[in-house]
């Protein structure tokens, strides 16, 4: 572990973990703290950020786009990014460091979606927004084989649930999925909820089930579109999953990888030693974050180039 990562873990253990030990979820406090602590990096040279927060925007959120708009876009990837935050806080603004780092490394236009948050909008609002955004991208002319669905934490679970729902609906599927520390089991039944409690510098295990209720409301925690670890994962595109070895949510990643492989899905599961939850968001400060994003960008370029090289007749719609 680098000294930069050790410092980040110390900070998270002092500043973030104590809030997860509380017996109730304070939604407004979480939102206020996140908005105060947002570090907004500069837009990378050669790129532009387009903020789309108008009431009538069909795709609310932020587009990170390359300035070389006249260059060929035939094989340029497009990332649909779904931010984390337990489904009730954070935003595209809070995740710019991760999105900028991933998009520029993958040389991909990236839409960071501003999906609706709980408790004002409980399940399935976030899923509905992610599905609508993907379908809007396709309807506007973006080839499905150039799109990669990505997300972290709750957004990682949402990305996986969106892939499952697209398959079930018969939509053409994207080229792949990238899941950073995904939260895939809102029933909080993974063994590492207990075994890594105390080792995780960010979360206490007992906080996971409480946070889930903010989003679920009356929905069963094992609903496959809310907790895709319980979904049938056959027919999904290749997945890259990154998680830290000491996370309480580690088993949310490992079980998805096991189930997906058993269903015939290509999965690259990377368990990084002693990394905190969604350490990729600390790019460019933490070297491990930079290396993780390098790996994810390579995956994105690989799966989109492979799908783009296939004849259209070979790109099937999963059923």
**Active-site residue numbers?**
153, 247, 277
Instruction: Give the residues across from 109 on adjacent strands.
Output: 78
In the numeric block, which tokens belong to residue 246?
């000491």
CA dihedral 84, 203, 10, 253 (to 10 degrees): -60
- Return the structure tokens found at 263: 């269903």
- What number of helices (H) and strands (E) belong to the chain? 10, 8
149: tokens are 């669905």
E-strand stretches of 160-319: 176-180, 239-244, 267-272
Angle between the 287-309 and 3-15 helix axes, to the nearest 10 degrees?
A: 100
Q: N- to C-terminal Cα distance for the chain?
A: 43
């Amino acid at each position: 572990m680098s000294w930069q990562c050790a410092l980040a873990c110390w900070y998270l253990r002092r500043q973030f973990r104590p809030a997860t030990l509380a017996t109730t979820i304070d939604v407004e406090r979480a939102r206020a703290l996140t908005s105060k602590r947002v570090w907004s990096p500069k837009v990378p040279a050669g790129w532009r950020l387009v903020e789309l927060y108008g009431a009538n925007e069909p795709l609310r959120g932020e587009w990170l786009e390359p300035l070389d708009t006249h260059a060929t876009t035939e094989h340029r990837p497009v990332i649909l990014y779904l931010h984390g935050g337990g489904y009730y806080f954070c935003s595209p603004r809070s995740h710019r460091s991760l999105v900028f780092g991933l998009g520029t490394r993958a040389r991909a236009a990236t839409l960071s979606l501003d999906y609706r948050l709980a408790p004002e909008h409980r399940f399935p609002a976030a899923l509905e927004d992610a599905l609508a955004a993907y379908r809007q991208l396709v309807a506007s002319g973006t080839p499905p084989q150039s799109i990669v669905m990505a997300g972290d934490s709750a957004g990682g679970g949402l990305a996986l649930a969106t892939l499952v729902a697209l398959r079930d609906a018969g939509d053409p599927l994207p080229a792949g999925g990238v899941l950073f520390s995904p939260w895939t089991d809102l029933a909080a039944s993974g063994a590492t909820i207990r075994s890594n409690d105390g080792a995780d510098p960010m979360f206490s295990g007992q906080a996971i089930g409480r946070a889930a209720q903010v989003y679920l409301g009356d929905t069963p925690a094992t609903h496959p579109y809310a907790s895709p670890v319980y979904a049938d994962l056959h027919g999904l595109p290749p997945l890259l999953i990154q998680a830290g070895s000491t996370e309480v949510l580690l088993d949310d990643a490992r079980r998805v990888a096991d189930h997906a492989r058993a269903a015939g899905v290509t999965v690259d599961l990377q368990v990084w030693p002693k990394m905190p939850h969604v350490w990729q968001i600390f790019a460019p400060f933490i070297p491990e974050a930079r290396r993780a994003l390098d790996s994810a960008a390579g995956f994105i370029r690989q799966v989109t180039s492979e799908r783009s090289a296939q004849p259209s007749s070979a790109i099937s719609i999963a059923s």
